Amino acid sequence: ANANADVSEAKDPSPEDPPAAAAPKTDDDDTDAIFETLWDRIDAAWDDEKTHAALLEYALRTEMLPQLAGRYRKVKDASPERAERAQKKIDGIVIALTHVMMSQKSPLPQKVPWQLTLSVGIACMLALLYLARIMLFVR
């Protein structure tokens, strides 16, 4: 009876075991479920500007703008009736990427304070005087 109980306990998943559907995302995944859902909504309602804006905002937050641009590029190449809006969206993504890059620009280097320069200069002069004294009076 205990052997059967052990087998039945082994079959029951513990609460700590993650479900198979929640497998970790791999590096090969370029998109996620939310991105796919938003894209499906865009595909179903192409002329709805709100869905385009929602996906653009999501892609900005999740750094998926290149994937979004690729989707719009595919639509532009495959569907002449959607090509104009797709090109406008690609242009908007380029502008958004430019803003992101400009906001990440490194700050200008700061000028070294004159007090530090003066201190280093005095230290060098003292070291030279000490070496000169050793060379002149050691003989």
The CATH number of residue 104's host domain is 1.25.40
Give the closest residue to 62 by CA, choosing from 26, 92, 100, 104: 100
**With contact defined as beta carbons under 8 Å apart, do 36 and 53 qualify?**
no
Decide if 35 is inside a domain. Answer: yes
Q: Is residue 88 part of a domain?
A: yes
For residue 96, being part of any structural domain is answered with yes
Q: Which domain holds residue 93?
A: 29-111
Q: 87: buried, middle or exposed (CB in 10 Å: 19+, 13-18, 0-12)?
A: middle
User: Quick check: is 3 in a domain?
Assistant: no
For residue 23, pLDDT beyond 80:
no
* DSSP category for residue 12: S
On whether residue 17 sits in a domain, the answer given is no
For 86-115, the pLDDT digits (tens) are 999 999 999 988 888 888 877 777 888 899
Specify if 137 maps to a domain: no
Q: Is residue 107 part of a domain?
A: yes
Q: Is 68 exposed, middle or buried (0-12, 13-18, 19+ CB in 10 A)?
A: buried
List Cα–Cα distances, 29 to 36, 57, 67, in angstroms: 12, 20, 11
50-79 per-position pLDDT tens digit: 999 999 999 999 989 999 999 999 999 999
Domain count, the chain: 1
Measured distance CA(49)–CA(43) in Å, rounded: 12
Q: Is the pLDDT of residue 83 over 60?
A: yes
Cα–Cα distance measured from residue 10 to residue 81, given in angstroms and rounded to the nearest whole number: 57
